[in-house]
Amino acid sequence: MSSRHEDIQALTKLGLTVLQAKIYLTLAKSGRTTIKTISQASEIDRSDVYRIVSKLQEKGLVEKMITAPNTFKAMPIHDGLPMLLRRKAEEYNEIEAKAKELLQKYEKNNEKEILQRDESQFILVPKKEAARRKFANAIENTQVSCDMILHWECFRYGMMEDTETWKKTVEKGVKIRFVVYKSEDEKAVSRIVQILKKKGSFKVRYIFTPPPATISIFDKKETIITISPTPHPREAPNLWSNNPSLIAIFQDYFELTWRASKENKHKKIITT
């Protein structure tokens, strides 16, 4: 990379365009000169030179001498660079102030959202990507416990596709309990399950009667339930809620199912 190219790059970082930098350096090197000479030395079309020199005048980097023909002189580099640095610093300070103002607005809006979340809400979440995003956010925000009743197909998918998410959740001390309907191929995820069990409180039990719905409860404060029974909850709309009464009902249902479930998948549950 040539020295001139590096000089042009430095000036563009200070706020000049490439053509402005070329012409400013040309003038700084040649001293007072005409548009024609600037065009020849910088290899820039004369019509462009007129426009660019005018911009440099506005920036205070070039002076116009009233002569015949008119000539132009650049502000010395040792004066021009500090001036550009000061302007860049002022620009940065202005951006920083705007960013702080934006952050304050966001924090106020966030406080409003938190207050709104404290109110009972019922949200119908569309299937697929929206359902996946809602579930991922709930897991990320969970601090204490996560209880789920789901089909084997969903459990296997979650363990294999979201392994790192579950690792992080267990490692931060969240107590996780899964009640899984049937297990047809436990070898597919047995290694992952064992790793998660070693990292924290991660428990899996089995039931042999299809659950009426896929249920997830996070910190006993919010819940996600499929509105139709399916092995793949992300393929169907979900209902999200933070309603305490609804969560209490689901939590009781989970505890009853948990007590009736089995750690050994090969030993069927006897019901009366």
35-54 pLDDT per residue, tens: 999 999 888 998 899 999 99
Which tokens go with 194? 């064992």
The residues near 189 (Cβ < 8 Å, ≥ 6 apart) are 155, 156, 159, 160
Amino acid found at 39:
S
Stated as kind and residue range, the H or E segment containing 209 is none
Helix axis angle, 18-30 relative to 46-58, nearest 10°?
Answer: 90
82-135 pLDDT per residue, tens: 999 998 898 889 998 888 888 887 776 665 555 555 578 888 888 777 778 888
Phi, psi of 204, rounded to the nearest 5 degrees: -130, 130
pLDDT band at 265 (very low <50, low <70, confident <90, very high): low
CB atoms within 10 A of CB 221: 17
pLDDT band at 251 (very low <50, low <70, confident <90, very high): very high
Cβ(52)–Cβ(22) under 8 Å? no
The residues near 207 (Cβ < 8 Å, ≥ 6 apart) are 149, 179, 180, 181, 182, 257, 260, 261, 262, 269
Amino acid found at 244:
P
User: Cα separation of 177 and 216, whole Å?
Assistant: 10
* pLDDT score of 208 more than 70: yes
Q: What is the pLDDT of residue 100?
A: 87
Cα 162 from chain centre: 17
The residues near 177 (Cβ < 8 Å, ≥ 6 apart) are 145, 146, 147, 148, 203, 204, 205, 254, 258
Q: What percent of the chain has pLDDT over 70?
A: 87
Q: Going from the N-terminus, what domains does the chain have, and what CATH number goes with each?
A: 1-119 (1.10.10.10), 121-260 (3.30.870.10)
Cα 62 from chain centre: 44
When mean pLDDT is compared across 172-181, 241-250, 257-266, the lowest value belongs to 257-266
CB atoms within 10 A of CB 80: 21
